[in-house]
């Protein structure tokens, strides 16, 4: 390895284009959807009001319209109780017109998110976040992948990145990124490590990684001196810095060291949304078979 | 680190006594069971005939009798089909007298083990091996732990081994050891790595580990030169070598390097059986509440 002070040939870093790849997938979906007689609909459960949530929903609405999927927002007041909300979600899941149901996260603090997520049945759980869907996923029997896993897999396939015989470091173990990714890697027979915010020496692991998948939501958490040259970085973290949506990776210092990197925005985000809609089409097809 | 050739003060290796600890737990269970009016019963589904399976069952029978739990073996012929077996298991699970139901592994090769395991409902799944139980476990909502996880946790608590702030290396990701352990560590906010039989350089990881949990079933897979001094080793592997049941660790070369180690036999094995029966008592108590 070359110390950070020594002169070194810089690697020509390639930004994995999530926007372009998601457009390709959405174009394919649009054609597929036009051949389905039934109108597909995504139900989105939204509790309370908040700028980030509104932004996420706008993005989903735009994408849904573009591919020909209906989207129905079910808004609830912030102070709804867990029991009330579970009852309401049961009705929404039961509604035949809803092909799939998602709960927009984050939920207000007084609600137990996992308990709420468990009220979506696996047949309509396009986010793969309920306990039952996760159980099916762990044993390799779920029909769809968690969207972020689908997105990462799609990247690897599109850019022909061999991930099965590499050392992968997963940073964070949250419900939306680290946990589903780790559950996936368990099935994929990969060698991997899971780091947490409490890990005293993340760089010791990161420096050995062939592939880093990060989802901690801490701006500039991963810097150039922490990785080896030629590393592939999937930046699935999102946080806000100075009004901008940013990832976990400090792109300036990483420049010239990583071989591939997913930018934020325009990387894993749009592709994950595309995967959500692909999941919706898949479960609709499975149900009608 | 001291190279293996240099003279070094040998660490006084402590063998974690799984037999003694399991006896303590079983004694407590016996008292608890004597206070329960209903006769508890463990149903064991056995397909085909095989020496190892018979040995496992004998061990469970002996333990059950000692603590006052009935055990009922449901034997099936080796060539039973998946559908037939699932139907039979549904009846066994439905039988009120069966407090808990386990499927004795390994199953004959023509059966899909996970599909068979999924026919045990979470309320009776004392082994925590069905997709639904695993899903509940992943989201931290299962009422009982997979027996091997319960056994490992019990060891750590008994010997006051702090595992939460340590680097843990899990060797193997099989259904009975590696997978449940990794799912547990995800929830425990631990820093950990999962190695597979395909990992090219296991020693690189093992040498940094504070705690090693191994469940590959390869005799002498882990040798003294692969670990750092003072490591804690949980050997949950079982294989046969020259007619003896052996673990994954080469105890001769590891001697003087590890601080704690669970021997095979007499380590994790008997404690895992004790945990299975504790699970049975726990789910019976939960049902009557």
B119 Cβ under 8 Å from any chain A Cβ:
no
Q: How many CB atoms lie within 10 A of CB B79?
A: 11
Structure tokens at B222: 């882990």
From B139, B179, B189, residue closest to A131, measured CB to CB:
B139
Instruction: Quote the pLDDT of residue A3.
Output: 44
Q: Alpha-carbon distance B75 to B47, whole Å?
A: 6
- A204 contacts on B by Cβ (under 8 Å): 208
- A165 contacts on B by Cβ (under 8 Å): 198
Q: What are B103-115's pLDDT values in tens digits?
A: 999 899 999 999 9
Kindly tell me if the per-residue pLDDT of B4 is higher than 60: no
Q: What are B61-100's pLDDT values in tens digits?
A: 999 999 999 999 999 999 999 999 999 999 999 999 999 9
Q: What are B173-200's pLDDT values in tens digits?
A: 999 999 999 999 999 989 999 999 889 9
Asked whether A170 and A163 are in contact (CB, 8 A), the reply is: no
The angle at the Cα of A148, spanning A271 to A153, to the nearest 5 degrees, equals 80
Q: What are B23-58's pLDDT values in tens digits?
A: 999 999 999 999 999 999 999 999 998 887 888 899
Asked whether A280 and A69 are in contact (CB, 8 A), the reply is: yes
Mutate to test the interface with B, among A105, A177, A192 (most CBs of B within 10 A): A192
The residue of chain B nearest to residue A175, with distances taken between CA atoms, is B139
Task: Scan for tokens 């958490």, then name that residue.
Answer: A221
B9: confidence class by pLDDT, cuts 50, 70, 90: low
From A186, A194, A208, residue closest to B173, measured CB to CB:
A186
Helix, strand or coil for residue A37?
coil
Structure tokens at A14: 């390639």
Task: List alpha helices for B139-214, DSSP H.
Answer: 147-158, 178-187, 202-206
Instruction: Quote the pLDDT of residue A168.
Output: 98
Phi and psi (nearest 5°) for B277? Answer: -70, -35
Closest Cα in chain A, distance from residue B52 (Å)? 25
B190 Cβ under 8 Å from any chain A Cβ:
yes
Q: What are B218-248's pLDDT values in tens digits?
A: 999 999 999 999 999 999 998 888 888 899 9
Q: Alpha-carbon distance A156 to A18, whole Å?
A: 12
Kindly tell me if the per-residue pLDDT of B156 is higher than 70: yes
- Report DSSP state, residue B222: B
B138 Cβ under 8 Å from any chain A Cβ:
yes
In Å, how far are B44, B46, B49, B68 from B56, measured between CA atoms? 11, 11, 12, 18
Instruction: Quote the pLDDT of residue A52.
Output: 76
Q: Do B130 and A135 touch (CB under 8 A)?
A: yes
Asked whether B169 and B190 are in contact (CB, 8 A), the reply is: no
Cβ-Cβ pairs closer than 8 A, A with B, add up to 95
Task: Scan for tokens 């095979």, then name that residue.
Answer: B264
The residue of chain B nearest to residue A135, with distances taken between CA atoms, is B135
Q: What is the pTM of this model?
A: 0.94
Helix, strand or coil for residue B264?
coil
- A179 contacts on B by Cβ (under 8 Å): 138, 186
Q: Alpha-carbon distance A79 to A66, whole Å?
A: 33
Query: Which residues pair with residue A164 across a beta bridge?
Result: none
Q: Which 222-241 residues of chain B touch chain A by CB within 8 A?
A: none
Query: Which residues pair with residue A240 across a beta bridge?
Result: A245
A251 Cβ under 8 Å from any chain B Cβ:
no
B166 Cβ under 8 Å from any chain A Cβ:
no
Phi and psi (nearest 5°) for A170? Answer: -100, 125
B137: confidence class by pLDDT, cuts 50, 70, 90: very high
Q: Which residues of chain A have pLDDT under 50?
A: 1-7
Strand (E) positions, chain B? 14-15, 41-47, 70-76, 100-103, 167-171, 191-195, 211-214, 231-235, 239-241, 244-246, 258-261
- B141 contacts on A by Cβ (under 8 Å): 114-115, 118, 131
User: Domains of chain A by range and CATH?
Assistant: 38-126 (3.40.50.10860), 147-269 (3.40.50.720)
Q: How many CB atoms lie within 10 A of CB A266?
A: 17
Instruction: Quote the pLDDT of residue A289.
Output: 64
Buried b vs exposed e over A117-146: b needs ≥16 C-beta within 10 Å?
Answer: bbbbebebbbbbbbbbbbbbbbbeebebbb
Instruction: Quote the pLDDT of residue B8.
Output: 55
Closest Cα in chain A, distance from residue B192 (Å)? 5
Mean pLDDT of chain B: 93
From B139, B191, B199, residue closest to A195, measured CB to CB:
B191
A114 Cβ under 8 Å from any chain B Cβ:
yes
Phi and psi (nearest 5°) for B133? Answer: -65, -40
Structure ipTM: 0.93
- B204 contacts on A by Cβ (under 8 Å): 208
- Report DSSP state, residue B36: -
């Amino acid at each position: 390895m070359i110390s950070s002070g020594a002169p070194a040939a810089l690697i020509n870093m390639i930004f994995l284009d999530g926007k372009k790849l998601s457009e390709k997938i959405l174009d394919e979906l649009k054609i597929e959807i036009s051949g389905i007689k039934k109108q597909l609909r995504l139900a989105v459960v939204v509790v309370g009001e908040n700028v980030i949530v509104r932004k996420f929903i706008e993005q989903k609405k735009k994408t849904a319209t573009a591919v020909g999927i209906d989207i129905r927002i079910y808004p609830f007041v912030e102070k709804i109780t867990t029991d009330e909300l579970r009852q309401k979600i049961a009705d929404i899941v039961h509604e035949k017109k809803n092909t799939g149901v998602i709960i927009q996260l984050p939920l207000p603090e007084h609600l137990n998110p996992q308990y709420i997520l468990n009220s979506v049945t696996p047949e309509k759980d396009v986010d793969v976040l309920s306990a039952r869907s996760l159980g099916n996923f762990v044993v390799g029997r779920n029909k769809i992948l968690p969207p972020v896993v689908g997105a990462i897999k799609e990247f690897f396939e599109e850019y022909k990145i061999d991930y099965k015989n590499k050392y992968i470091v997963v940073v964070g173990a949250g419900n939306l990124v680290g946990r589903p990714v780790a559950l996936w890697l368990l099935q994929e027979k990969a060698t991997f490590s899971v780091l947490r915010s409490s890990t005293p020496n993340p760089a010791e692991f990161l420096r050995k990684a062939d592939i880093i998948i990060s989802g901690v939501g801490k701006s500039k958490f991963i810097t150039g001196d922490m990785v080896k040259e030629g590393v592939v970085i999937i930046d699935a973290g999102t946080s806000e810095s100075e009004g901008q949506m940013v990832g976990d990776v400090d792109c300036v210092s990483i420049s010239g060291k990583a071989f591939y990197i997913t930018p934020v925005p325009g990387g894993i985000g749009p592709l994950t949304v595309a995967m959500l809609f692909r999941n919706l089409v898949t479960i609709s097809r499975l149900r009608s078979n």
